[in-house]
A = this chain, B = another copy of it.
Amino acid sequence: MALIVQKYGGSSVANGERIKNIARRIAKIKDEGNEVVVVVSAMGDTTDELINLAHQVSEQPSDRELDLLLSTGEVVSSTLLAMALDSLGYKAVSLSGVQAGIQTDSSYSRARILRVDPKRIANELGKGNIVIVAGFQGMTQDMDITTLGRGGSDTTAVALAAALKAEICQIYTDVEGVYTADPHLVPEATKLKEVGYEEMLELASYGAKVIHPRAVELGELYDVPILVASSFSDSTGTFICKEASMEVRNKVRGIAHDTNVAKITVIGVPDKPGVAMSIFEPLAKANISVDTIVQNASVQNIADLTFTVAQTDLNKAMSIVEPVAKFFGAKQCIADATSAKVSIVGTGMQNTPGYAARMFRALYAEGINIQLITTSEIRITCIISEDKVKDAVQALHRAFELEKE
């Protein structure tokens, strides 16, 4: 008898019919002799509808109230799933985040889980119940309700799997797993059977939206094996686990891309201490994530500084950077909203020469100009023009022969 934690996303529980389908899937797992804990997101567009309601009564709803409001969405879907299981003849009980013992800090709208008290869940499992937990939510020390922000339900599931020492955490979503590249861009992309936590982090951060990076990090930290699969099919999905269990190392696992990229270049900044700090500190304070940063070697103590932000943050970032650049006597600030990233991801690349060269050659052969380059231990990223993304991803997929299993 294994303890299995499953998570179903909003599209999997979008209406009564789908909830009944999910109930049948869960029943099967239970019939196989397992203990089952299920984490659910809110039904379909519920969260957006609740946010819309909030904006009807307030231009800027307080985070504390918004969190309590939004937390109802997952309570609704989890009670409905428990009812559906009950009507199939299975004992089931639904628990809110509070009841499930999810304790968080008090950063409303993006709370972090501090600890999980699994007593109640263990108790319900002991009574033979399938336990349905409302995802995305927790409780502060003062019994106020918090939500966990983006990727919240994934994070709930992995945290519960860690606290309950579950055999596996299964994340069911509307895609079949993790692919070597976005199948919309590369029809011959293949599904990965396994991928390491860090590889998955690079792939997910760079646009393969299957599971939230935060949940992957938590999985790595607590050594929780994660399966990502579709709730609409029976195909096997992708297994996220320690690299040690990889079949193949030193290989590119996939091509990631991200088109929500804008580039800011500050031309002619003095090459002296304090300049970078003066530019990036106010951006951080304004909650703008800066991604790639490149400064070229200075000529006569004058250098050019280039960095990328999300396209949605571009205007705000420019309004912060321009006065600072002017203060330091920079010649010009250039904003470019038409950039994109393509990356090759795989463990062991840093020990093996040739990956970067192969990547650059493949892009050159397509006539794609590389604007910036940045690397991590398991990733090489090129910033290119947004309109070349599809060509670039296809070319790289071919160059690294990812269409072969």
Where the two chains meet, the residues of A that have a C-beta atom closer than 8 Å to any C-beta of B are 15-17, 19-20, 23, 50, 53-54, 56-62, 64-66, 68-69, 71-72, 75-76, 79-84, 86-87, 93-94, 96, 98-99, 120, 143-145
Contacts and interface: CB of A to CB of B under 8 A. Distances in A.
B58 A83 contact: yes
Copies of the polypeptide in the assembly: 2
A82 B94 contact: no
Given A57-B16, A143-B98, A69 B62 contact: no
A79 B84 contact: no
A94 B67 CA distance: 11
A86 B58 contact: yes
Q: Which of A20, A61, A120 has the most CB of B within 10 A?
A: A61
Classify the secondary structure of A's interface with B. helix
Contacts of A54: 79-80, 83
10 contacts: A16-B56, A16-B57, A17-B56, A19-B57, A53-B80, A54-B83, A58-B86, A62-B83, A68-B94, A99-B144
A56 B81 CA distance: 11
A93 B76 contact: no
Given A60-B87, A61-B87, 19 more contacts: A15-B56, A16-B57, A19-B57, A20-B57, A23-B57, A53-B80, A54-B83, A56-B80, A57-B83, A58-B84, A58-B87, A61-B83, A64-B93, A65-B79, A65-B82, A66-B83, A69-B83, A71-B75, A98-B98
Contact of A86 (B17, B61, B86, B144): B61
Q: Which of A23, A50, A87 has the most CB of B within 10 A?
A: A87
A76 B53 contact: yes
A226 to B, nearest CB: 28
A382 to B, nearest CB: 45
Contact of A79 (B69, B93, B96): B69
Contacts of A56: 15-17, 19, 80
A183 to B, nearest CB: 32
A103 to B, nearest CB: 14
Contacts of A15: 56
Contact of A143 (B19, B71, B94, B99): B99
Contacts of A86: 58, 61-62, 65
A282 B79 CA distance: 34
A192 B108 CA distance: 48
Contacts of A64: 93
Nearest to A123: B142
B57 A87 contact: yes
A69 B62 CA distance: 24
A68 B60 contact: no
A65 B53 contact: no
Given A72-B75, A98-B143, A99-B144, A65 B83 contact: yes
Contacts of A79: 54, 65-66, 68-69
B57 A84 contact: yes
A145 B76 CA distance: 13
A96 to B, nearest CB: 7
A4 to B, nearest CB: 22
Contacts of A53: 16, 76, 80
Nearest to A64: B93
B68 A96 contact: yes
A64 to B, nearest CB: 7
A381 B213 CA distance: 70
A151 B215 CA distance: 44
| 10 nearest A-B pairs in the assembled complex, by CB-CB distance | A16-B56, A72-B72, A58-B87, A69-B79, A58-B83, A57-B84, A61-B83, A65-B79, A68-B79, A65-B82
Q: Which of A17, A57, A145 has the most CB of B within 10 A?
A: A57
A58 B59 CA distance: 38
A59 to B, nearest CB: 6
